[in-house]
Amino acid sequence: MTEQIQTRTEVVSDDAELLILVNSEDQPIGELDKAACHNGDGKLHRAFSLFILNSKGQILLQKRAKNKRLWGGYWSNSCCSHPRVGESLADAVIRRSEQELGLTVDAKFIYKFEYSAQFGDSGSERELCSVYVAQTNDEPVFNTEEISACRWVAPAKLAKALVDNADHYTPWLKLEWETLRSEHGNALRAS
């Protein structure tokens, strides 16, 4: 019998929240509200992505809530968001993992990269993104304001799904997973 994943509802973010604008060297150059950061071609801002694995080596994926402005209803990595002004990336990872998934994690920084992706007329992501990996055997209690579903998936199945059904997944997940597997495989096994 499959264990039922539990949910909860809590508003933890809004479009007026200030994000940290950065240059390509990750030096802060200002602040701008989240909505404006994602308008048009987007403004480069600091962000993070977290991949949570269990002891079986499965990755926790989340399906973004339909009401998300960008890539709502798409499958993505375990957790992704932005640090608040004055907050470290490590603290932001812990905060958002708890807010979105109900999981407290000890995340390890793996690498950083810059990307941009356009989502039709809705806006863009333009982020300098730090990628983290963590491990837990706890089950998520996900926040339905942020997430519509969660599932654990084996790495080989994720790799196949990203080829067979690429249009069901966020662009950053595809970029990050390829780099994690090809350049940081040891970090995935050691998490």
| One pLDDT digit (tens) per residue for the chain, 191 residues | 344 567 656 655 767 899 999 999 999 999 999 999 999 999 999 999 999 999 999 999 999 999 999 999 999 999 999 999 999 999 999 999 999 999 999 999 999 999 999 999 999 999 999 999 999 999 999 999 999 999 999 999 999 999 999 999 999 999 999 999 999 988 777 65
Q: Is residue 94 within 8 Å of residue 107, measured between CB atoms? A: yes
In a domain? residue 164: yes
Quote the number of domains for the chain: 1
Q: Which residues contact 94 (CB under 8 A, 6 or more apart)?
A: 104, 105, 107
Whether residue 152 is contained in a domain is answered as: yes
**Domain-embedded: residue 9:** no
| 4 located within any domain | no
Is 3 inside any structural domain? Answer: no
- pTM above the 0.75 mark? yes
In a domain, 1, yes or no: no
The residues assigned a catalytic role are 80, 127
- Residues 17 and 33: beta-carbon distance below 8 Å: yes
**Domain at 62, CATH number:** 3.90.79.10
Q: Is 8 within the bounds of a domain?
A: no
Using alpha carbons, select from 47, 50, 59, 72 the residue that is nearest to residue 145: 72
Q: In terms of residue numbers, what domain contains 140?
A: 16-190
In a domain, 55, yes or no: yes
